[in-house]
Structure 1
Amino acid sequence: MEAGKTYTLITGGSAGIGLELARLFARDGHNLILVARTQSDLDAAKNELTAQGVDVVTIAKDLFDPDAPFELYQEVNDQYIVEILVNDAGQGEYGLFKDTDIDRELDIIQLNICSLVTLTKLFLPNMLERGEGSILNVSSIAGKTPGPWQSVYHGTKAFVQSFTEALRSELKEEGIVVTALLPGATDTDFFNKANMEDSKAVQDKDKLSDPAKVAKDGYDALLADKDKVISGFKNKMMMAAANVMPESNVADMMKKQQEPVSKDKQ
């Protein structure tokens, strides 16, 4: 371990919002540890980011596996000082709850909640010992609304949002920054992995947020020590409207937005 050399660890760091965050951190001279499932994607990201003059470590790890966060911590902690933890990895599953696969949904809970909590639990004591550190949790506006057709995903993001806000309160006197980034529908591979291509919410690609802009909002919020940031004016307006509506109405509104273009496909 090189004395004084610190790293930013990003889960889901080889694509989408995670990769865009990695680009921002690399631009500002942060050494990186990128974690994702596929080594070839990690290699491509490393080849790009090392051109910024930073050290880039890649670790292929499947965070659907309950043991993986513990293995990741042991591998990293023996060699590197993690100054910033970015919990970006997350997936969803599209469909009515009565029809969806429970094994897939339990995997999503493991990834979106359990791996995030475990990595935070493991890396936080090192930050506290040093008296400094930052944690950026990629939440979602989904965590602020009920989500028919994505009930488990929305539920996991509600947990992430509540957990992040509570952790920030606990740590505000400890020199640790804790920030939540709340994107809306963003132009990444999320919808393909969630089998969500038929949803009305993603039919108009022009209305999807740019992952680079989402990442910039989260990056700036973390540096400014903000508790959270909703990315995008449209999403801010949507959340403002949802806050004054009965939750049952919000749920019905979301159901209409996320249902398939043709229910005959279901």
Structure 2
Amino acid sequence: MSLALVTGATSGLGLTFARTLAARGDDLVLVARDEARLDALATELRARGRTVHVVPADLSTRDGVARVVDAVHEHRIDLLVNNAGSSIGKFFGDTDIADEDSQLDLMVKAPMDLMAAALDVMRPRRSGRILNVASVAAFTPRGTYSAHKAWIVNLSRWMNIQFAPEGIVTTVLCPGFVRTEFHQRMGVDPSDVPGWMWTTTDQQVRGALRDLEKGKAVSVPTVRYKVLTTVAQYAPAGIVAAVAKRGRKVAE
């Protein structure tokens, strides 16, 4: 049995992470902005015999991050799942810079602070797991969203090299298109994305947890996305950028 902290736990990949970890016997610290949904999920998982702590927090704010950092230290977690994230429905240059600053806080600063806190509790006991959620967008030119994800991929790779000798494994999950609330919250219409490009949260979460246990630095579940990410790294950047615009039509 271990104790896992999951951010963005009430929807999409985070919700599947929480339920999957509970099903395998982990206790949980759940983090999200929506306190009502957090409480409902905690009630569901406690009914399965799990110990569940909830931390309502907005990770785009310094107060929210500080609250979760405190929870990492207090509960001495065994697994950190840095999943919380979102995106802006427009590309950099057509966005409000205040929105971009908030995204940077959520997508870069918050996971960095939580990883630092996790290392504080994991290094002394020489064991622990960190699972960061990025995106296949990390391998494409796609504005600030892909830049944020490329940052987390690069840092995760380095951390797995640096801290694996101390018993701490870091894996970064790079999902492709997943059927969640993500696009709806962005206010975009993903209908131009072919059906074969869609995956499920279950495929992504189970693939990520398998790769984490194997000590892999980068997890790209499904063969189709392994092929696509490889091609994206070597194909002409202009072509990759054009394809990467899929799923960004403004919803009517």
- Counterpart residue number, 1:219: 209
TM-score between the two structures when normalised by the length of structure 1: 0.88
* Kept in 2: contact 1:141–1:182 (CA 8 A): yes
> Which string of whole-angstrom CA distances, capped at 9 and with x for unpartnered residues, describes residues 151-185 of structure 1?
11111101110111111111121100111111001
- Counterpart residue number, 1:183: 175
Q: For structure 2, list consecutive stretches of 5 or more residues without a partner in the other structure.
A: none
1:171 to 141, 144, 163: 163
- Counterpart residue number, 2:240: 250
* Kept in 2: contact 1:93–1:196 (CA 8 A): no
Provide the aligned C-alpha RMSD in A.
Answer: 2.0
Say which SS state the counterpart of residue 136 (structure 1) adopts. Answer: strand
> Which string of whole-angstrom CA distances, capped at 9 and with x for unpartnered residues, describes residues 171-224 of structure 1?
1211001111110011111111222226623xx567421111111111111122
- Counterpart residue number, 1:140: 135
Higher Rg: 1
Letter paired with 1:142: A
Say which SS state the counterpart of residue 161 (structure 1) adopts. Answer: helix
Tell me how far apart the structure 2 counterparts of residues 99 and 64 of structure 1 sit (CA, whole Å).
Answer: 21
Residue 48 of structure 1 and its aligned partner are, at CA, apart by 1.9
Report whether the alignment pairs 1:49 with 2:49: no
* Kept in 2: contact 1:183–1:232 (CA 8 A): no
Q: For structure 1, list consecutive stretches of 5 or more residues without a partner in the other structure.
A: none
Tell me how far apart the structure 2 counterparts of residues 199 and 161 of structure 1 sit (CA, whole Å).
Answer: 28
> Which string of whole-angstrom CA distances, capped at 9 and with x for unpartnered residues, describes residues 45-78 of structure 1?
1122123211011110010102322222224523
* Kept in 1: contact 2:122–2:168 (CA 8 A): yes
Tell me how far apart the structure 2 counterparts of residues 243 and 84 of structure 1 sit (CA, whole Å).
Answer: 30
Residue 21 of structure 1 and its aligned partner are, at CA, apart by 1.0
Report whether the alignment pairs 1:7 with 2:12: no
2:89 to 94, 100, 124: 94
- Distance of aligned partners of 1:96 and 1:127 in 2 relative to their CA distance in 1, 3 Å threshold: closer
Residue 110 of structure 1 and its aligned partner are, at CA, apart by 0.6
- Distance of aligned partners of 1:209 and 1:106 in 2 relative to their CA distance in 1, 3 Å threshold: same
Report whether the alignment pairs 1:67 with 2:66: no
- Count of aligned pairs: 252
* Kept in 2: contact 1:50–1:56 (CA 8 A): yes
* Kept in 2: contact 1:92–1:108 (CA 8 A): yes
- Over the matched positions of the two proteins, sequence identity in percent amounts to 30
- Distance of aligned partners of 1:23 and 1:222 in 2 relative to their CA distance in 1, 3 Å threshold: same
> Which string of whole-angstrom CA distances, capped at 9 and with x for unpartnered residues, describes residues 4-23 of structure 1?
x8510000111111111111
- Distance of aligned partners of 1:125 and 1:77 in 2 relative to their CA distance in 1, 3 Å threshold: closer
Letter paired with 1:97: F
TM-score between the two structures when normalised by the length of structure 2: 0.93
Report whether the alignment pairs 1:260 with 2:252: no
